[in-house]
Every structure is written in structure tokens, then in C-alpha cells.
Structure 1
Amino acid sequence: MPSKYHKDNKSSEYELQTVPKEQKVLSKKQHAFNRLTQRIESLKQDIREDSSKLDILMELYGNEVAPQYPRIAELRINLAKVLARATERINFSSRHYSAIGDAIVSLCEEAFGDIDMNPELEELYDRWSAESYRAKLSQRLYRAKEMFADMMRDRYDVDIDVEDIEDSTEGFAQFKQRMKAQVEQDRQQFWQERHQKSKRQRQQEAAKKAAEEQKQRSIRSIYIALAKVVHPDGEKDDAAKVVKEEVMKKVVAAYEQQDLQILLTLELEWIHQTIENLQQLTDEKLQVYLDVLKQQADDLEKEKVELLHSPKYGAVAAYSSMPLNIAKSRILKDKRELKDYNGWLMAAASAFRSLDAKHSIMEFVAAYNERQQNNSADDGWYDVQI
């Protein structure tokens, strides 16, 4: 059974497949080989397209939307200050005064995630809030500790006393890193001890090790064989030398990444160019390829999922499931809405400075506080909601 290296006219990508000689029926392993190589190429293409799309969206978001939030934060703080000063020159009822205080606190809390804290802002917040900024920050940190402790218990069956976690944000971050490192160390030790418990497990470990060594030998053997025939140093023809240089770069990159599928593609591409009929792959060699390709496909599946949920792209997560053109349009639409909101905040602050602003202030405060109550499921400390 020879192999065939086929190039689609619509694409520059080569498709790696085993094909029957004349009418010979493919075996199950040969079918599995074809399915896996096709699946891997498809996954790689998906990841390339998703990465490119997310990078484009991140650049657009970073240039157009992200700069709006610090401006909004400053305008929110400015509006909170204007409201506070209005209470000094306008006579409000105790009920209205309390409602204005609630709005001032909410405006400050919405701004804190996008603005540097300073003593003046802390004093403003403390004046109108039932709890001080420091106390509120401490409560938030304590909730974060509890959530981390719950996660460690549910995921790793590790009990943590939240009182043992440092009280500062930096200390908490360092504690989390130490705990994750300890859990990983304990996990490795557990499996090491478990692997040593029985003869059967030791045999399984030995077989796994042998399979890994066979995999490495297969990858290395392909690499060496290709390097011998495509290395450009021995090529006298300039045009052929350029071609070999490009192929050699791909071979070296695939070997460094331990990418068997790419090495196989390069191997069969080169052989197809020089030999009419390819010899049949032995079942032993084919099984080694299948084992490696299965693992590679699983890793790519995981990489594809993790890419869409990566913190790196968190800012554009809401757009990731949209087609690129629609996502770009939505980002630009969000920018326009944020700019409109900027203008509204500026206009409100300007209007509230007038002597007859009492009625407009109370209309704003009533609407704003109602919106905050509707959003009460999220405390909004560091989430800007428009």
C-alpha cells in the first residue's frame, strides 16, 4: 500500500493520506491514520484562524474601546464631586440627601477599577459610604479568599483556612501561587507513589516509557532522513538550494516542536517528488504514528478551547463567537455608545453646577439608583456597566 501526497488546487496546504495501491482496501489503522491527519490539519487551521481573529479584535478593542474606560472613570469621579458640592449649596430633604449619597458611592465604585486611588478619592468615598473604602476593600479581599478556598476544596480536595492567607492583595496573590505549586508537587508525588504500588503498574509505566522512546526514535529518524536529503549545503544549483533552505527551516521547526504530523507531511511531500511508488508503512510504525497523532489531536482540541477562554483575550470574549466583520462592527458600535456616555456624563456634570439644578439632580439620582438596584446581583466594584 503506497502513500499519496495530494495538493488541493484551492489551497497551498498539502493533505497527508495513506491510499490503497490500485483497488486494495485500506485497513482500520490506515483509515484511522487518514482521519487523524485530517483532523489535526483542520484543528491547526481553526486555531490559526481563531488566533488571527482574536488578535485583530484585541487590537481594535485596545485602540478604540479600552481608552474610553479611564475617561469614563474620571468623568464619574468628577460627577460624584459635583453632586457632593451641590449638597453644600442646595437644600435637599434628608431622603433626597441620602439618595444623592448612594449615587455618589456607586459612581465612585464604578470608577475605582479604571482609576488610580488617592487620598482625596478615599476621603470622598468615606464621607458618603456607610463603610470606609478600606473596610470595603478588606471585605472584597475576604470574599476572594473564600472563593479561592472553595475552589481548592472542590478541585483539589485541599482545605484552606482563610485566616492563613495574607491580608494584602499582593500577599494573597503570592499565597495562591504557593498553594498551586504545592498542589502540583503533591499531585506528582501521589502518582509517583501510586505507580510504585504494584508490579502491573510498573509494567504499564515501562510500556509507556517504551512507547515514548519509540515515538522519539520515529520523530528523530524522520528528521535525520529528511535532513540528509534536503540540507542545502550540498546543493550546487542556486534555485534548488533556495527550495531546500525553505524546506529545511520547516523540518527543523517541526522537529523542535516534536510535531510528528508536520514531519510526516514534509517526509511524504519530499518522497513523492522523488519516488514514484511509496512502500507500505508497517503496522508497527503505523501504530506509533497513530498513538502520537491521537495525543497531538487531543492537545490541539484542548488548545482550541483554551484559546477562546484565555485571559489574554478576556476583553473581547463577548465578541469571540461572532463572525469577524460583525464583531468589528460591534466593537465600533460599543465605542460610539461609550463616547455618547462620555458626553452625557460631561453634560450632566455641567448642568448640575447651576443654581436651579435641584430638579434635574433628583431626576438623575432616582434613575441612576434604580439602575444600580437592578444590577445589584453584581457588586460592580471593578466592573464598568453602561
Structure 2
Amino acid sequence: MTDTAILHIPEQDKPLNKKQKEFNVLSETIEALDRQLADLQQAYDEMLRRIPSDLDPLVREYQGYRADIVNLWDRTYEAEHFRKAYQTKLAYLIIENAYDLIKNHDRSELKPVFNKYSATDIDVLLEEERLRESARIEDPAFLLESVYEPEPEVSFHELSEEEQQRIKAERREQRMDQRTREAQQAKTTKSVRSVYMELVKTFHPDRETDEGEKQRKTETMQRITKAYQENNLLSLLKLQMELEQIDRSGLENLNKNQLSYYNKILRQQIEELGQQKVLIQQKISAVCSLPYQHANSQVTVIAKFNTVINGLKVEIKNIKKTYKHWLVPSQLKAYLKPFQIPDQPEGELEE
């Protein structure tokens, strides 16, 4: 926010009283929250800009290697290199990984592989999952985070790779636009609207008949509107004080009732800014897996985002090595032998 450190009661001939000290602390807290919110918003916007170029290609590459491994397991199973106990484990791994890749990463080419080992057709399972997701629409919290995306007339997976990427980019842009609109709507807090409406009632120029006074009120309203659009409570309060002929040097002379009013408004703004901070922190956490309580600066957030990218690069190197390693049946068998299917009793495997 602009125009910081604008409300401060100086300590002159006598010490400040309790309400004056509270006024200064509240004002400073709002300025700090304003700066932090702007900093976190810049971090979030930077991550969104970088996702299509820096993160998405790595995710696609990694999931591509996962799909290669699923196909490798399928070929190994059919080649009958292993006894039934090993094949049972391979079938489990194929089902688990293929389902995730089909549902969450658009790898529909794995559907035949999944159906080969699953007792239930993949499309039936996906429809059941879709119905469960649809039921969540009744949750208001879910509605706030959702963006409606109409189903294409042609199945997404029947489109070319280029067309799929185009649609994904369009949907990503739509989500970003929606988030921007939501952010703008949420940006103006109740405390700011409250002060703004009081000022508008007094200084709106439309009903003014005197041209000179109308011009003065028009200029004042421009300043009021600018502060309102910036969600800058301190600027609005400063304007209110100026218009009430309370200059900065006279802040120490505010009476008890005036200070109580201003402190109440400032406390309300702090609470609302704190809620905005949590919301942007949670959005950041969803992108880079940083615990939202730790998302307190742009430097920290971007450092974590870079760590995610670098970590994914390492994972790609590792999965490439694993794939090459498992091309040798004996090495894949060495991995499968100690592997235990969840919720199944442990048993010995025969060589």
C-alpha cells in the first residue's frame, strides 16, 4: 500500500495514554500487514506465471516415465518371467499406478492395461469418482474454490496432444482470471467500506449546487475513491481526519471517544487483513506445498517453489535410472521380492 506511516501520535510534553499507544500500535500493524500482503501476492503471481513454463513440462515428463514403467510391468507380467506371487504384486502395482495416471494425469492410453488387471472397468470407476465429486458441489466452501468448466463435445482424450495442451492452457488462464476477480472482490474490507461510505455521504458532489464547492468535493472524492480502491484504510482515516480539521500534529489531542472510534476501526481492519493473509498463504501452499503458516515472505515462497522444481528434476533422473534398472528381469524381481501389498498377509516368495 502507499502512503505508509501516515497515522502516528507523537509523544511530546507528556507520555501517551493507553488509547494513544494502542492507536500507534494498531496503525503500525496495519502498515506491516499491507506490505506483507502485497509481498505474498507478488510471490503467488510469480509462481502462477512460471507454472506453464517451469513446472508443467517437468510434471509431464515425470508422469511419462511412470507410464513407461506401468507398460514395462505389463510386458514383464505377460512374459511370465515370474511365478504367480510376483505376478500378483505386479498386477497390484499396475492397477494402482495406472489408475492415478489415467485419473489425474490424462494418460488415457493406459486404460486397456488397467482393465487387463482390474475386476472393474476403469470407466466405471471414473464415473463413480465423478459422482462422488459432484456431490461435493453442495458444500459452500467447495463452491468458493471451484471454477465451472463445461464438458467438451468431443472426449478430451480423443483430441490431439497439441489441442489438449491448448485447452489446458485456456482453462489455466480462466482459473487465474477467476482468482484475480475473487481477489479484487475480497480486497475491500468491511472497515474500509464503512469509512468510505461515511465520507461519500458527506462529500459526494452530485447534489452540490455551488460550482466552487462542487469542484472541491469532486477533487476530494477522487482522493477518497483512490484510497478505497487500494483498500487503504489508513489513507481513508487520514482523509477523514483532514476533513474534520484534525491535522497530523493534532492527533495527540483526539478525545477519548474519537480515539475509541478509530481504534475500533483499526482493530477490525487488522482482523480482516489477517483473514486475507491466511487465504493467500493457503493458495501459496496449494501451489508449492509450503505449510501455509511458513509462507511469510516472497523470498521464502519463491525459494520453496524453486526447491519443488529442482526436486522434480532429481526425481526425473531417479525414475529414468529405475526404468533402465528394471529392464533387467532379475533386478525387477529383486525389487518385488520384499514388496508387500497393503492389507495382505506377508508371505515368502519362491525363486
- RMSD of the TM alignment (CA)? 4.5
How much has 1:266 moved relative to structure 2?
5.6
Matched, 1:331 2:308: yes
Matched, 1:175 2:138: yes
The match for 2:19 is 29
Question: Which amino acid letter does the alignment assign opposite residue 290 of structure 2?
Answer: A
The 3-state SS of whatever aligns with 1:66 is helix
Matched, 1:123 2:95: no
Q: Within 5 Å, give how 1:100-249 maps onto structure 2.
A: 100-116=90-106, 118=108, 121-134=110-123, 136-137=125-126, 141=129, 168-169=131-132, 171-177=134-140, 215=195, 218-220=198-200
The match for 1:314 is 286
The 3-state SS of whatever aligns with 1:297 is helix
TM-score (norm 2): 0.62
Structure 1: unaligned runs, 5 residues or longer: 1-10, 142-166, 182-210, 226-230, 236-244, 375-386
Query: CA 1:250/1:105 → structure 2, altered by over 3 Å: closer, same or farther?
Result: farther
Separation in 1, partners of 2:194, 2:37: 28
Query: CA 1:13/1:257 → structure 2, altered by over 3 Å: closer, same or farther?
Result: closer
Separation in 2, partners of 1:174, 1:64: 32
The 3-state SS of whatever aligns with 2:105 is coil
| Deviation string, structure 1 residues 173-217 (Cα, Å, up to 9, x no partner) | 433359989xxxxxxxxxxxxxxxxxxxxxxxxxxxxx9998556
Query: CA 1:217/1:61 → structure 2, altered by over 3 Å: closer, same or farther?
Result: closer
Quick check: 1:105–1:125 contact (8 Å CA) kept in 2? yes
Query: CA 1:364/1:65 → structure 2, altered by over 3 Å: closer, same or farther?
Result: farther
Separation in 2, partners of 1:270, 1:216: 13
| Deviation string, structure 1 residues 267-293 (Cα, Å, up to 9, x no partner) | 679999xx7954733433333222211
Question: Which amino acid letter does the alignment assign opposite residue 292 of structure 1?
Answer: I
Query: CA 1:248/1:52 → structure 2, altered by over 3 Å: closer, same or farther?
Result: farther
Separation in 2, partners of 1:307, 1:261: 22
Q: Within 5 Å, give how 1:362-373 maps onto structure 2.
A: 362-366=333-337, 369=339
Across the two proteins, how many residue pairs are aligned to each other? 283
How much has 1:297 moved relative to structure 2?
0.8
The match for 2:330 is 359
Aligned pair partner of 2:261 in 288, 294, 300: 288
Quick check: 2:4–2:31 contact (8 Å CA) kept in 1? no
- Structure 1 segments (4+ residues) deviating >6 Å: 178-181, 211-214, 221-225, 267-272
Quick check: 1:254–1:260 contact (8 Å CA) kept in 2? yes
How much has 1:40 moved relative to structure 2?
0.7
Identity %: 16
| Deviation string, structure 1 residues 50-92 (Cα, Å, up to 9, x no partner) | 2223333444455323322223223222321232123333442
The match for 2:171 is none
Aligned pair partner of 2:87 in 91, 97, 104: 97
Quick check: 2:95–2:117 contact (8 Å CA) kept in 1? yes
The 3-state SS of whatever aligns with 2:137 is helix
Q: Within 5 Å, give how 1:19-98 maps onto structure 2.
A: 19-20=10-11, 22-98=12-88
Quick check: 2:111–2:122 contact (8 Å CA) kept in 1? yes
TM-score (norm 1): 0.58
How much has 1:220 moved relative to structure 2?
3.6
Query: CA 1:269/1:314 → structure 2, altered by over 3 Å: closer, same or farther?
Result: farther
| Deviation string, structure 1 residues 302-331 (Cα, Å, up to 9, x no partner) | 211222113x65021327637356425523
Question: Which amino acid letter does the alignment assign opposite residue 174 of structure 1?
Answer: I
